[in-house]
Structure 1
Amino acid sequence: MTRIISSLADIGTNYDALLCDLWGCLHNGVTPYPAAIAALQAYRAGGGKVVLLTNAPRPNPYVIAGLDRMGVPRDAWDLVVSSGDAAQDAMLAGAVGRKVWHLGPQKDDGFFTDIPAAWADAPAIERVPLAEAEGIVCTGPFDETTEVPEDYRARFLDAKTRGLKLLCANPDIVVDLGESRIYCAGALAELYADMGGESLYFGKPHPPIYDLARRRLAAETGVDSPRLLAIGDGVMTDVAGAAGEGIDCLFVTGGLAAAQFGDDVEAPHAALLDSWLQARLQDPTYSIGRLR
């Protein structure tokens, strides 16, 4: 049974580093949460390291630029590791071929143009029309504000028939952008798999992003084999991913599923929370209304 806590400070000293989600925990896609920022700043001031672990489908320099524009201070974190980082490595290794159809908005072009130094000598990835593609790289819908997965059924049928693999750069199904809920690449990959196609995943809850986070944490901060705490509001991404990695988890109930736990977003109702988690076969170590 999950333990409901009132602040990160209640448990923070038990851990060397945090793997903290962004959307729904640190910001809502538009505005940062001041209490969450203060909690991470205080944790770092006490000697802890903060990895922002996100399913954003862009390499981390683009995620960092977005945080800067939003006003998230850099003293709230140590490094950023994204699903885009892990998926980009797989793409450059040739996981879905060298000629790919990019399914996603223009804002994700950096996935193809900002090549890490480690891959500088790799054969080029060429973006081509679907009819010429050897595989699909999905970073989201073309228009995330209006489109739904079903809009792609006909194109997916053609791709599945041709045996194309789909590399999913963001396993999230939906996120809240301010007051609007939008579909992510994970929803498209789920539809493709349901249709009989093969979808490949590299973000939470799948192992590649956790392996990458551990390696970068050790390389950039000197913290090797740390006591880790995962923080997030996605029960099937953050919570399930932490469980799969043997990592303790702090579930932020005031994110995507906030309406399920009572009227006070800051104080989840224990019985409602336990019942909801049991139905999903998940048992996070701790839960909190909002990160603070």
Structure 2
Amino acid sequence: MSGEFLKIRAGKMRGYLNPDYDSDDVREFLKNPDRALVRGAELLKDSPTTTAAFVKVGVGGTEKEFHLKRANNKGFLYSLESLAKKSRPLRTYKNIMRLMAADIPTPTPVAAVEERRFGILKRSFLITERITGGANFYYWLKANFRNLPELDRIATTKGFAAFVRKIHLAGITHGDLKCSNVIILPEERPFRFFITDLDATRFSKNGWPLEAAVTEIARLSLSAYDTVDAEDRERFLKSYFDDACDADGWGEKNRFRRMAAIVMKKHLARQRRKKKYPEEYFTYFETGAGKCPSD
């Protein structure tokens, strides 16, 4: 990117635009991104909170593929809350820029725009580049991981541990870290990973945010419970914890793991109280497979 962003106005929309995409075609598209959702878009998600799709947009005579994400309005209270803060897409755009500055791979932002009336948020959108050849990490794991050669399984596990460790050692916590919020390039060696859904990301000025990072590891581990075997998960935890301790100068690895186990146990208890997941979700982590490695 040649610069962080341009502040723009396109019709009723205001927001940020990547200078590399500053063109009449893109500005016209940003006046009403909803049109792209009804013209042959590849719908990825349509929930009360978010609508996401791959869309094609003409840019300078060529067709570009973008990932378009609309933050859906959740009602009157949501609109009132928006008076005091920027929309999720605009916050996410700024977070993406900070991650890119820290050399954390994430899809390149194209634009983030919002429409307001008398200060009340009506619509908001985040547009990023589509990562060619990328796959949702959770669905890729579920479909492919157990069939990989052993060396590729090890490489995937250790490579992903290094990716997550790099994020945390930069003083960054994602806020909703799970396998479905990661993109993998499965045809590349070594495997490459990209982090997505960054509206809840937090940045610490004091380096590695220990408890928040371990809570994220707990959430991440739970999100993969039906995609990998116990030995793969243990390899991931051992690689993350040992290498993170080494990189941070933390000599008491066993003490660190005990702290991590306590945090993960608390996270499990919170999730169980919500009654959102089947019981086998928790059994996996209470029969040995889910415990932090102790040596």
TM-score by length of structure 2 reads: 0.24
TM-score normalised according to structure 1 size? 0.24
Task: Indicate the structure (1 or 2) with the bigger Cα radius of gyration.
Answer: 2
Q: Which has the higher contact order (CA 8 A, sep 6+)?
A: 1
- Give the helix-richer structure, 1 or 2: 2
